[in-house]
Amino acid sequence: MHVTNIRISDVLRRRFQINTMSGMGYQYKGIFDAVRVITAQEGIRGLYKGISPNLLKVAPSMASSWLSFEMTRDYFLSLRPEEDDDEI
């Protein structure tokens, strides 16, 4: 869900960047106008352009981050001395 919400703002950001280049791009009056025009011309799928390549890029990166986090956490937890449950 997080990636899909970010994707919409990324599409809008790129469209506005192209809009500032001379003679290129799309003409929008603001963010809400951009969303309205994109959905009217391209449908709701227009807001999610490029999501597949982005997910293919993000998924391995997130997996390696979580793997390194888990391995580091397990290593540091193994360094802690065992606590006895009998002690009060």
Q: Grade residue 80 by pLDDT with cuts at 50, 70 and 90.
A: confident
| Greater model confidence, 78 or 4 | 78
Closest among 3, 11, 48, 5 to 31, alpha carbons compared: 11
Could you tell me the two tokens for 83?
A: 């606590």
Of the listed ranges 11-15, 62-66, 75-79, the least confidently predicted one is 11-15
Could you read off the pLDDT of 12-47 as tens digits, one per residue?
888 888 776 656 667 788 889 989 999 999 998 888
